[in-house]
Amino acid sequence: MASATEASSEFRDGFPFVGGATWLDLLNTTPAGETGPQELIDGPERALAWLRAAGLGDAAGNADEAMADLRALRAELRPVFEVLEAGKRLSDAVLTSVNRRLAGLNGHHVLQRGEQGPTLGLAFDPAGPAALIAFDLARFVCEAEPARLKRCAADHCTLVFYDRGRNNTRRWCTMSLCGNRDKVARFRARRAAR
């Protein structure tokens, strides 16, 4: 029988993809475990597995470099989340760091099929995954509403996400895990109080 994480489409290859943005999904690769944060990118092959699951390819097959780059970028992104969540402006140091990573990203416009007809898109030349994730962050910072950045409301969970719901009322990283656990716990508490 599959575990809840394996059965959920919000998890791929054991990695949570509940953040709503690739840079948030990278932050979620250190969820809370029994004894503290778990490292889901715990080896070079797992780094490549995360990149594949995130739709970012294989980092040209250099697993050791991919692991080091992903971990370093994740460490840089954690304080960015904190600043954005607090509604503050990004520092010049953060902008410089993101711009340094974006410098390795080259792209060109492409005409592509869309549901309503042709659309103009942007195709990127092969670049390191950190540059693609930095682009995701840069686009997010320019287009998203920081007030919608949230942490899962479950006591045991450390995952973060962007609430894309119309009412901005999402509380849990995923309803199938944390939301359901919370509702069951509240039901049991009410029942025990009778």
Buried b (16+ CB within 10 A) or exposed e, 17-49: bbbbbbbbbbbbbbbeeeeeeeebbeebebbbb
* 13 token code pair: 């290859």
Q: Which of 123, 177, 135, 149 is nearest to 20 (CA)?
A: 149
Per-residue pLDDT of the chain (194 residues; tens, 9 = 90+): 233 333 346 899 999 999 999 999 999 999 987 788 899 999 999 999 999 899 887 655 578 988 999 999 999 999 999 999 999 999 999 999 999 988 888 877 778 887 888 888 777 666 678 888 999 999 999 999 999 999 999 888 999 999 999 999 998 898 877 867 766 667 677 778 87
CA distances from 94 to 55, 98, 111, 146 (A): 25, 6, 33, 16
Give the distance, in angstroms, between the CA of residue 18 and the centroid of all CA atoms in the same chain. Answer: 7
Q: What domains appear along the chain, each with residue ranges and CATH number?
A: 10-102+129-193 (1.10.3300.10)
What confidence score (pLDDT) does residue 58 get?
63
For 134, the enclosing helix (H) or strand (E) is helix 129-143
* 114 token code pair: 């869309």
* CA–CA gap between residue 5 and residue 173 (Å, rounded): 12
* CA–CA gap between residue 154 and residue 157 (Å, rounded): 5
Q: What is the pTM of this model?
A: 0.81
* 36 token code pair: 């503290």
Residue with tokens 């778990």: 38
Beta-carbon contacts of residue 19 (< 8 Å; ≥ 6 apart): 25, 27, 28, 159, 160, 161, 162
What confidence score (pLDDT) does residue 61 get?
58
Residue with tokens 């080091």: 68
Q: Identify the burial level of 76 via C-beta atoms within 10 angstroms of its C-beta, where 0-12 means exposed, 13-18 middle and 19 or more buried.
A: middle
* CA–CA gap between residue 138 and residue 90 (Å, rounded): 11
Handedness of CA 58, 62, 64, 66 (dihedral sign): negative
